[in-house]
Amino acid sequence: MENQSTPSSEPGTDLDNFFNLSFDTAGLDTLRQLSLWAKIISICAFIGYVFALAAALFGHSKSLDEGSSSVTFSRTSNLLGTFLTVIIGGAINYFLYRFAVGIDRGVKSMDALKVNEGFNSLRIYFKILGIILIIVLAILVLAILIGLAGLAGR
């Protein structure tokens, strides 16, 4: 009766061995460096966003005609563009930072679960980038089609 469960259905044996790969000494060193550079990228991005926001909010306009509607429009569109960049970029880099922290903690405590969480954040990071790329490509294709339709209509 005790041996009723087959080895394949027994939790913690075959499922764990499904991937016989491991993070050996070289792999752990690579993970450490990966985490460091990912952290540098995300922190640089966050600092850059702060500076970009500050410049957009409090920066001086180069134009002499401050009150004109074209300057106001340009300033507003610049501000909106910066906000959009900060929100999307912030979300993307948040997951990159989580990846870096997860991997770092996992490697330090030799905890595979934390490393898994880190890789899950990397998956979300690449997924968001992929979705943004798909949206950009769709807009590009749409613009080309509209342009071609406009040329054909002449």
Residue whose CB is less far from another protein, 11 or 153: 11
Residue with the two structure tokens 């939790």: 11
Q: Report the nearest approach of another protein to the CB of residue 121 (Å).
A: 10
Q: Report the nearest approach of another protein to the CB of residue 74 (Å).
A: 14
Residue 147 CB neighbour total at 10 angstroms: 10
SS3 category, 102: helix
Q: Report the nearest approach of another protein to the CB of residue 153 (Å).
A: 26
Query: CA–CA separation, 12 vs 153, rounded Å?
Result: 66
Which positions lie near another protein, rule CB under 8 A?
Answer: 2, 10, 12-13, 15-16, 18-28, 30-31, 33-34, 37-38, 40-41, 44-45, 47-48, 51-52, 54-55, 58-60, 106, 110-112, 115-116, 119-120, 122-123, 126-127, 129-130, 133, 137
Q: Report the nearest approach of another protein to the CB of residue 31 (Å).
A: 7
Q: Report how far apart, in Å, the C-alpha atoms of 128 and of each of 49, 63, 90, 139 are.
A: 18, 37, 12, 17
Query: CA–CA separation, 73 vs 57, rounded Å?
Result: 14
